[in-house]
């Protein structure tokens, strides 16, 4: 058993060993820290001897990622022009390998390489600069090969001019296209403060909402003396990148203003979207078709109809499809793509209600008849109220009711009073696309043609008559085939006339057509309605006043009679009294 002294000594030894281990770890950490500092960066550490392998952390990469500037595509060595502020990497392979990273092209267009000196590469493509460096290094190295890559491309400084709101100099990210370069010169935008201090618009298609400027004929003058053009309308409509080229630093972009004399071209007909847009030299028929978004399903894509002013008259030119890519348009040409004469095979009508097979059925729009579609659906069910069926025309332009009119225009030329105009507005607010069809009428079945999007509804035959208005118990009442079904029998079933009923104004409203008839003009059928009008308020008040006055007159007469009787009685009494005195 250990003594107290032994236990104390063991604890003391343990503490001493822990102190020695801690001192060793601190000393080792300080040694590694001083080694990193002597190399100039604590981020470049070689752990190959301790952990196996090589570890390298690039601080420049972090800076580029944090800036978050998006660059379109990749930089092409044969087209990208180097210039001041480009940050490049240079790899030299010879008897030994040299890597220079983060070399900036200075304001004089030169790079400074340690132990090599200054070399002018501004204004050259990357490929040309590699050849320039190879030639220079051949004086020092044996058979050197040079590779240059862009670490961080310089922003592009461009100049925008013309009849625009905000001309001037703008700085845009490298690889920017014309739409980004010109947006700030057209629209007033707030430039956000960012690390890059470069405005990156998100929706350059806002330019399409402005038709004041010539976005189809933008001129670009390059610093090397060359000239190119941009067509932003074609770019936005088709996505053609050639119509929206990448700008270069030093470019001057000129935008002109449109006016009434600016020539135009248009495309319409069986295309997805019809447009009238500014004319651009070199426009072809195919260009217009592409800008319009392509054809509709019923388009005749084999031919285009071109209408052109010539010698003070309009010529019609038919251009076959194979010539569209080469046929050049002239200013103010009008292009129309015709429709095919073939039937539209995707047209349909919906049948609901009392048919044997309700559902959606194919039709030839404008040709299939009501009778034909009912035959396809198996006919009417046994519970169909065939005389009350109706069509709801679809919302397509082809289904517009022919006699549709403008209410406001009719008010302008009408001699109606205010009440008449109010009634006119009420009538025209009712459904204009509802067509009542009596399916018992063979002429209706044979002559009613259907259109795409129509809906046919056949209500159920409930064998009832609806009685309403000035009756004591309005509602639905069964129609009995065993009875005469007279109109006044149904009024009695509804509790008879109400006190304010106008017995001279009883009407039958027919099912389906909602036509009004007097009782003697029609016979009752299932689904019909019986309406009993009420006495006008003015007449009712006059009647009540008359009844009161009649009672008052009666009372007055009674009072006169009683007064007369009293007078006569008095005279007789007086006469008798006088006789008795004598």
- Per residue in 331-386, pLDDT tens? 999 999 998 866 567 789 999 999 999 999 999 888 899 999 999 999 999 999 99
526 SS3 class:
coil
Total length of the chain: 582
Burial classification of residue 176, based on how many CB atoms lie within 10 Å of its CB (0-12 exposed, 13-18 middle, 19 or more buried):
buried
Confidence of residue 48 (pLDDT cuts 50, 70, 90): very low
Q: What is the CATH number of domain 464-535?
A: 3.10.560.10
Strand order in the sheet with 313-320: 275-278, 264-269, 334-337, 303-310, 313-320
Q: Which two tokens stand for residue 100?
A: 């220079």
Q: Which whole number is the average pLDDT over 34-50?
A: 41
The average confidence (pLDDT) of the chain is 81
Specify which residues 162 forms β-bridges with.
255
Q: What is the CATH number of domain 73-152?
A: 3.30.1950.10
Task: Report the percentage of the chain scoring pLDDT > 90.
Answer: 40
- Per residue in 406-416, pLDDT tens? 666 666 666 66
Distance CA 188, CA 204 (A): 13
Pair 479, 463: CB distance under 8 Å: yes
Minimal CA–CA distance to 562: which of 572, 574, 570?
570
The model's pTM is 0.58
Ranges assigned E (strand) in 47-109: 87-93, 97-104
The DSSP code for 178 is H
Confidence of residue 5 (pLDDT cuts 50, 70, 90): low
How would CATH label the architecture of 156-255?
Roll (3.10)
115 SS3 class:
coil
377 SS3 class:
coil
Residue 47 has pLDDT above 50, yes or no: no
Q: Which two tokens stand for residue 159?
A: 């100049």
Quote the pLDDT of residue 251. 94
The DSSP code for 380 is B
* Every domain range in the chain assigned CATH 3.10.560.10: 156-255, 264-337, 348-458, 464-535
Quote the pLDDT of residue 14. 53
R_g over Cα of the chain: 49
Give the class (CATH, top level) of 264-337: alpha beta
Give the class (CATH, top level) of 348-458: alpha beta
Distance CA 234, CA 536 (A): 69
- Per residue in 456-499, pLDDT tens? 999 999 999 999 999 999 999 998 876 777 888 999 999 999 98
Residue 205 neighbours by CB distance under 10 Å: 14
Please give the full DSSP string across 206-239, using - where no structure is assigned: GGGG--SB-SSSEEEE-TTS-EEEE-HHHHHHH-
């Amino acid at each position: 058993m250990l003594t107290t002294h032994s236990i104390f000594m063991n604890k003391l030894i343990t503490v001493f060993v822990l102190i020695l281990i801690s001192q060793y770890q601190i000393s080792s950490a300080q040694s590694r820290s001083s080694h990193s500092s002597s190399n100039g960066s604590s981020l470049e550490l070689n752990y190959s001897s301790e952990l196996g392998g090589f570890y390298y952390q690039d601080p420049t990469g972090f800076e580029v990622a944090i800036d978050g500037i998006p660059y379109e595509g990749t930089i092409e060595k044969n087209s990208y022009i180097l210039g001041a502020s480009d940050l490049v990497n240079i790899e030299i392979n010879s008897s030994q390998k040299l890597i220079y990273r983060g070399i900036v092209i200075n304001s004089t267009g030169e790079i400074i390489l340690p132990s090599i000196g200054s070399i002018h590469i501004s204004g050259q493509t990357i490929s040309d600069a590699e050849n320039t460096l190879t030639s220079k290094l051949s004086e020092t190295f044996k058979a050197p090969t040079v590779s240059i890559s862009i670490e961080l491309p310089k922003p592009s400084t461009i100049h925008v001019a013309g009849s625009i709101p905000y001309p001037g100099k703008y700085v845009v990210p490298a690889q920017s296209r014309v739409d980004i370069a010109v947006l700030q010169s057209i629209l007033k935008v707030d430039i956000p403060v960012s690390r890059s201090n470069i405005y990156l618009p998100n929706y350059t298609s806002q330019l399409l909402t402005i038709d004041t400027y010539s976005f189809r004929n933008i001129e670009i003058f390059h610093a090397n003396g060359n000239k190119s053009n941009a067509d932003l309308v074609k770019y936005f409509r088709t996505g053609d990148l050639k119509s929206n080229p990448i700008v270069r630093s030093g470019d001057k972009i000129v935008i002109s203003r449109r006016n009434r004399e600016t020539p135009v071209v248009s495309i319409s007909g069986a295309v997805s979207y019809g447009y009238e847009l500014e004319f651009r030299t070199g426009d072809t028929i195919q260009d217009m078709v592409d800008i319009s978004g392509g054809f509709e399903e019923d388009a005749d894509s084999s031919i285009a109809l071109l209408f052109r002013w010539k010698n003070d008259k309009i010529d019609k030119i038919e251009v076959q499809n194979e010539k569209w890519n080469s046929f050049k348009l002239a200013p103010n040409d009008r292009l129309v793509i015709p429709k095919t004469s073939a039937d539209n095979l995707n047209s349909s009508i919906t049948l609901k209600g009392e048919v044997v097979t309700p559902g959606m059925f194919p039709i030839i729009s404008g040709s299939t008849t009501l009778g034909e579609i009912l035959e396809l659906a198996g006919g009417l069910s046994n519970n169909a109220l065939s005389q009350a069926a109706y069509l709801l025309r679809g919302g397509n332009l082809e289904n517009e009711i022919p006699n549709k009119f403008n209410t406001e225009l009719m008010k302008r030329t009408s001699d109606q009073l205010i009440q008449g105009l109010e009634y006119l507005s009420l009538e025209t607010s009712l459904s204009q696309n509802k067509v009542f069809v009596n399916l018992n009428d063979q002429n209706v079945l044979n002559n009613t043609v259907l259109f795409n999007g129509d809906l046919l509804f056949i209500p159920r035959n409930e064998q009832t008559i609806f009685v309403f208005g000035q009756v004591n118990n309005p509602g639905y009442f069964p129609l009995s085939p065993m009875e005469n079904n007279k109109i006044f029998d149904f009024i009695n079933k509804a509790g008879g006339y109400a006190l304010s009923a106008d017995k001279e104004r009883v009407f039958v409203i027919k099912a389906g057509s909602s036509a009004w008839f007097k009782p003697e003009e029609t016979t009752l059928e299932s689904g019909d309605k019986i309406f009993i009008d009420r006495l006008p308020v003015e007449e009712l008040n006059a009647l009540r006043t008359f009844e009161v006055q009649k009672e008052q007159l009666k009372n007055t007469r009674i009072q006169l009679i009683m007064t007369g009787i009293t007078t006569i009685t008095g005279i007789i009494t007086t006469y008798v009294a006088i006789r008795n005195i004598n």
